[in-house]
Amino acid sequence: MRAQRRSRRQSQDNTKRRNQKQLTRPGQQPDVLPEQTLQLLQDHVLHPSSTLRTLYSYTLLVLQRAAYVLQPVLEPIGERAMRVLHDSPDIVFLGLILTLIFIFFQILLWVQRTISFFTRLAFRAALWMLLGLALMAVWNRGPEAVIGDLVVISRRAVVYAAMVKDIWLSEYQKYDAQTRGGSLGGSGIGGRSAGFSGRGR
């Protein structure tokens, strides 16, 4: 009995060692996927009678038949097109220019879309940041203090807008006076020259 037990233990140890050696062979990568997943892939994807392999082979067969049927029709058309392109290099040059223009406009559209996307993203981020700051201010200082700050800021903004309006009106009046003075001076010089010409006559 003891000898049988020892032999069983030795056989189990040997099988474990063999499995460990198989798993840790030099140059062999360990399995990334579990055994169930590998078996599933082997049964339903890699097996010759699986559905995906059948669909792939059927699609490839259909494409081969379509190419075999369309080859007598498309081959002379392709030969004629190559002859036309070979005989008229201007068409090739024009097509190349149009292709380059199309690629250039596509790049410009891509740049415009990228800039507009990042601009919208920046505005949205700024809006959410302002909303977050407003909520933090309300949470920290209370709604009454925030309303008081808004009233003070709005008053200062109104005063600043009035100052800007006054400055703009004064500058506009100065510019208007200068333009009127220049036009009156020009008309006076014209009248004097006309008077001198009449006297000379």
Rounded to two decimals, what is the model's pTM?
0.37
Q: At what angle do helices 51-87 and 89-141 cross, to 10 degrees?
A: 130
pLDDT tens-digit series, residues 181-193? 776 655 555 555 5
Looking at the predicted structure, is the pLDDT value of residue 32 above 90?
no
Let me know the angle formed at the C-alpha of 56 by 55 and 59, rounded to the nearest 5 degrees.
80
pLDDT above 90: residue 102: yes
Are 187 and 194 a contacting pair, CB within 8 Å? no
pLDDT digits (tens, 9 = 90+) for 10-21: 666 666 565 555
Instruction: Enumerate residues 6+ apart whose C-beta is below 8 A from 137.
Output: 146, 149
pLDDT of 164-176, one tens digit each?
999 999 999 988 8
CA distance 73 to 108: 39
Spans of all domains in the chain: 41-87, 88-141, 143-185
The tally of CA atoms less than 13 A away on the side-chain side of residue 165 is: 6
